[in-house]
Amino acid sequence: MTAPPLIHKRVQRLMGNRFELSVVSPDPCWANQRLDAAVAEISRIERLLTTYSDDSQTNQINAHAGIRPIQVGPEVFALIERSLRLSALTQGAFDITYGSLDKRLWNFDTTMTALPDPKTARRMVQLINYRNVVLDADQRTVFLREKGMRIGFGGIGKGYAAEQAKRVLRESGVESGIVNAAGDLTTWGTQPTGKAWTIGIADPNRANHQAFSYLAISNMAVATSGSYEKYALIDGRRYAHTIDPKTGYPVSGLKSVTIIAPNAELADALATPVMVMGVRVGLDLINQMRHIACIIIDDTDTLYTSTNIRIKTPATV
């Protein structure tokens, strides 16, 4: 008798985040071999993009900022090209040169007791400008014009890794699954029951991230950026971890932005800039994009959605 298909899961810390990978198969051994390959793929991408290793391609680019171009692999070059297009589309609300703003200015991992020095913030912000990233497609080189500039893939890397893990799984025969990269997730196929996957959107007012709404999706990706994830309490005011690249200070007014898109890289890359842009400008951008949807919750708990979303119980796109 043929065994029924089940969901096989792997939870692992990768790229500094909690990844959860799920595949549907009747064979647990076969499923675990595929999960091993997907984890290996995410680890490979982490080595390419990390800023915690001196010899990563990212750090080589940063180390030679203002000095000379660095030749990189086609994968990193293409990811930077796409990042720069998103930077232009969002008028710098998404900017891969945000790397000059690091833990020396804002450290949301420890208890901050005072706001950062405004002069230091202004100096660091001056180095953020995606227009100063020079690409040479023929030589496949990347050059940062200003010394001290740094690029980083914190706003797009998890989504990219999730999509690449999905690609590896699908190429090896996995017909249904989810790759969840700390809330940036991509889905394909269906649950063992044949129904679409049910994705919960975290309630920003609940510490345990209990869902306030659900989406039934397949072959789509979801990413959420929220002020509740990491923040500092200074003089009784909460400062969230999403930084406006133009000011160097945290954005305010929004608790949560959820993007629904065809792939996790795009969903991941759009969540932060919509947080920076705010309700009106952010929704205006999303409403002009095909096959992209957005759910926003502001600080007064008012819910806003793009024009292509119908809220029901559960919510559906």
CATH code for the domain of 61: 1.10.3980.10
Query: Within a domain: residue 140?
Result: yes
Contact in structure between 268 and 183 (CB atoms under 8 Å): no
Cβ burial of 14 (10 Å; 0-12, 13-18, 19+) is: buried
Q: List the chain pLDDT tens, one digit each, 317 residues.
A: 678 899 999 999 999 999 999 999 999 999 999 999 999 999 999 999 998 888 899 999 999 999 999 999 999 999 999 999 999 999 999 999 987 776 566 665 556 666 777 777 777 788 899 999 999 999 999 999 999 899 999 889 999 999 999 999 999 999 999 999 998 999 999 999 999 999 887 777 766 667 777 888 889 999 998 766 666 666 666 666 677 888 777 887 888 899 999 999 999 999 989 999 999 999 999 999 999 999 999 989 899 999 998 776 554 44
What is the chain's Cα-based Rg?
A: 20
Query: Within a domain: residue 52?
Result: no
Query: Within a domain: residue 66?
Result: yes
pLDDT by residue (tens digit) across 277-298? Answer: 999 999 999 999 999 999 999 9
Strands (E), 131-262: 133-136, 141-144, 177-181, 184-188, 197-202, 211-217, 221-226, 231-234, 237-240, 254-261
Helix (H) or strand (E) holding 36: helix 28-49
Query: Within a domain: residue 63?
Result: yes
Residues annotated in the binding site for Mg(2+), as ranges?
155, 268, 272
Query: Within a domain: residue 117?
Result: yes
Query: Within a domain: residue 69?
Result: yes
Residues annotated in the binding site, as ranges?
155, 268, 272
Residue in the structure block whose two tokens are 């050059």: 143
Contact in structure between 257 and 274 (CB atoms under 8 Å): yes
Q: What pLDDT shows up at residue 252?
A: 79
- Number of domains making up the chain: 1
What is the C-alpha to C-alpha distance for residues 213 and 245, in angstroms, rounded to an integer? 30
pLDDT by residue (tens digit) across 56-109? Answer: 999 999 999 999 999 999 999 999 999 999 999 999 999 999 877 765 666 655
The residue segments making up the domain with residue 73 are: 57-144
Q: Look at residues 209, 227, 210 and name the one whose alpha carbon lies nearest to residue 297.
A: 227
Residues paired with 215 in a beta bridge? 199
Query: Within a domain: residue 73?
Result: yes
Instruction: State the Cα angle at 293 between 181 and 158, rounded to 5°.
Output: 20
Query: Within a domain: residue 71?
Result: yes
What is the C-alpha to C-alpha distance for residues 272 and 184, in angstroms, rounded to an integer? 12
